[in-house]
Structure 1
Amino acid sequence: MTQAVHDIPAHVARRAVEWMLELQSAPATPALRQAWSDWRAAHPTHEAAWQRVESVRSRFGGLAGVSGAAAVAHATLSARSRARRRSVQALAVLLLAGGAAYTVEQRTPWRQWAADHRTRAGEQRRIVLADGSALVLNTDTAINVRFAAGERRIVLLRGEIFVATAKDPGRRFLVEMPQGLAQALGTQFSVHSEAQRAVVRVFEGAVEITPAQAGSPALVLRAGQGADLSAQSVSSPRPVGDADRSWVHGTLIAKSMRLADLLAQLSRYSPHPLVCSDAVAELRVSGAYPVAQIPLILESLSATLQLQIETQTRFWGRQVVQVRLAPRGA
């Protein structure tokens, strides 16, 4: 039975688009084709999403004359030199058109994938903007850059960024997120946008944060302060330190942190969730953990705390669901 388009999860549809672009933009090595084949075989929805991609491509790619929006999409998909985000935007519309569950809106996965800059889980990226400001994108982050005559604006669609602003007296520097705005007052700061809140931390200078809801009072954070921001309000300031920006250098610093909390933080850099059993959740750990070395971190924790690593899989071991730390012999 053919799976309905609206039954395909958003993340699966997005991955199908990614596979199409990867196969189209680089030589299809045997390893790449094998990985693509494995992904398709891992779950029926994967194959359904890929068949939808193939259907769209054959529908428009094989026609001698295509007009209107379809022509734009066809040209975008076939022109390798065009920006990747335009390809995704066009294909996303076609892939899920006709009563689909997803649209190319501001807060959907499609807009995030089509962002100017993005990172995948476990990836970090450094960017120098046209004005000389420096950004570091943390794991699983997406941003758009909007520079104009009167302002420099970063739209944080998801994830976490560190910003070191360059001086430009004629243009203010803003970070926009669903919860509100952060205006830099000559500074170094970070913004982490989550589902219902954002966390703003200031390391140098000052940042004014304003909730999205009209009329909500703003708050100026000074160096060494951080606060939570929702669409309606700002929390009271609290202290922040160098450990709060250690991720910029690829390290997570833990000081007597609960094991469960450490694994929750490390999960942001892992392709699958990292958890532990309730029996060891309250164990305290300290150290500097390189976020690009998740397997080594798990081995170290296992050896130090006398734990065993349990890997839960599905589809005959082809897909890891989660990795769990538990007492040995449990």
Structure 2
Amino acid sequence: MSDRAIRARGALGSWSAVMLVALVAVAVVGSLTIDGVASPRFWRFVTLEAIPIALIALPMTLIVITGEIDLSVASVLGLTCTVVGQLWVWGVSSLPALIAISLLMGAVLGAVNGLFVTGFGLPSLAVTIGTLALYRGLAYVVLGDRAVANYPVAWTTSAIKPLPGTTIPWVILVVAALAVIFAVVLHATPIGRGLYAMGNNAEAARFAGVNVRQAKFWLFVASGAMSALAGVFWTLRFASARADNGTGLELAVVAAVLLGGVSIFGGRGALLGVLASVCLLGVLRNALQLAYVPENTLTVITGSLLIASVVGPNVVGMLRERLRRRRSNAPTVSPSS
């Protein structure tokens, strides 16, 4: 069998391919059994809901591959929303300026996480649980229980404006461009190979010349900046800045990343699977809402998928390893003389 055939066979058998097949299956079954799933309006809503999750999931994928995690992302999003609202109240009327300030602030917040993790050697789980509470608290300090909603109509409509001839918002092109950048970095550069090496064995990666601390620090910076960008989109989409914006979104992001085949222990995963799982979760959730499934049940389903995302790839890996060993131990028949 040629190298190309072997690679193609591996790709078809990968977890990313499983996610793509599951996405198509859920979309087809939902379209045939639930009224409204096949409508353009449904897919527009799914896309709008998936955009902030996808933006945050891009750097989160790289972070988890290195064996770390960032649970403060939803709080960064919420704090960004409140800062955008407060700056608008103070008279900052330039949208590019608001976006630039938000990205800078998100990068600083991410740098705080990165400093504690890489500078002080603290576990990212503990650090980001702490900053999850801290950043959400700062959001309430900025706006309290108030909501800012008097943004220019041009701003709010531009964020959800559809592509010509479709119902899909144009912002999806921004997400696609960023996804290509992250995918190239992860899968086609020495940086990406270093990230996988960190996840498998950080000490060995360090001896191989990978600057583990620097790489992880900048990943947290990227995570903060992308979370802030998602916060700007959230504010404009809903035309409202509130301190509780995005509460609990970190669960959806982590579920998408792990369900997409990224190992919680690091060292394994691909962006294609993550993006497919973002779409899968969005389609599944919205389809079940159209079927009048209670919100509590949807939360149970999300939690179950999160558990399955941890167990599933490991089970598949175990089955592959068992099959490989069985083939290697199979007796060979010598040709008759």
Same fold (TM over 0.5): no
The TM-score by the shorter chain falls in which range? under 0.3
Give the number of the structure with larger relative contact order, counting CA–CA contacts within 8 Å between residues 6 or more apart. 2
- Please report the TM-score for the alignment, with normalisation by the length of structure 1: 0.20
- Please report the TM-score for the alignment, with normalisation by the length of structure 2: 0.20
- In terms of fraction of residues, the more helix-rich structure is 2
